[in-house]
Structure 1
Amino acid sequence: MGTSIGAWDRTARRLETIHATALWLVLPEPAGSPEPSRPPEPAGGASGEAGAGVLLRGPSGAGKSDLALRMIATGTARLVADDRVVLWPGKAGHGPRLACPEGLAGLIEVRGLGIVTLESDEWVTGALAADPGEGPSPHCPPLLLVVDLVARSEVPRLPAPDPAHVAGAAVPRIRLHAFDLSTPTKILRAVSIARARAEGTAADAGRDGLGPPARRSSKAWVS
């Protein structure tokens, strides 16, 4: 049975902005999926492609923008926001959605080059933050995975599920080293698993470190 992973909390009074990098990953539709997990008519060259939101977190120099740029260059991701990300809280039972602050759309900081403007097919146009009363743009992707970027020695070999708590929701989280060659592939595989679980189509035994899909508790995120 399919599960909506893009619902938002219409009672929200404010939006949270965090220091991170957000991506919209391009994924093939799973076989038998009853409902595509793509924003309606997404811009930024992503039309007709399924995808999901990923949040890259880590201290300055951890490789957030570098990893994002590599994934964008291979065509597996589009940029939502770099350095600052706006979070739309999901309603009870759903994860948050990702948006870009005004004035930062299509911009990414590239160490050694400075602030770079991406090509129109490399970022998700329309994934902009708005007044909470207006609701998120349909281009704002649902957050399915948090990736905490750590030193190579801190990447666990067999991690236990350890969700990140983002905008009132428990979101599957993994820890990876940004500069390992396999990191983009691991992220794509993790998102595919997380999306299948969110949509109720997963056939795995759940022995990985992702745990259950992103879910917000019934407790209100804002008072």
Structure 2
Amino acid sequence: MDSRLMAMQEYIRGAFADSGAHGFDHTLRVTKLCVILGTEEGAEMQILIPAALFHDIARPIEDKTGIPHEEKGAELAEAYLRSIHYPDVYIPGILHAIRAHRYRSSDVTPETLEAKVLSDADKLDAMGAVGIARTFMQAGEERGGISDAVHHINEKLLKLKDRMHTEAARKIAVQRHAFLKEFLEILQVDIQADSEECSEKAAYW
């Protein structure tokens, strides 16, 4: 990573005072996935990597104000990139990728390869073992329980496999999707067993 990207990474790290389901570690994983997917798909890394680093920078702002983080994030990215005289030719592509990355994005559809790769990488980090960990972390942040996390997995995460834009992401999504399904099956068995054991003890007493 060149010095410009290292400085960019440190700037973005400073926006995340707290860890969480969308903390700085999530940003780093998405950026790593973007490198993997982008290399395979032939994306322009001068667009993709800054977009990945900035894609969630405004999450803490959204949590406090309700302003969509993809819109505010694009504003923050543009201000920063222009302040360091980042090549103008790449900035529109970076801003589009940030605005289009969100699963529940408003009216912005990923139109460029870089936007599609970032959207895919963000969804992949919501799948597999990491996705499960993040889901339970988020449920805890929202004072929810196991049933809330399971609902989220069923209503969102299991649908992600069929929403990938790139072939490189689809290959990874198949594996992570299978892990999600296996986890839910095991969890359901364990929950049922615990429930039956509690019922038996209650009947005994």
With normalisation by structure 1, the TM-score equals: 0.28
Q: Which one has more relative contact order, counting CA pairs under 8 Å at least 6 apart?
A: 1
More helix by share: 2
Q: Flag the structure with larger Rg.
A: 2
Q: Compare the two structures and name the one with the higher strand fraction.
A: 1
Scaled by the length of structure 2, what TM-score is found? 0.29
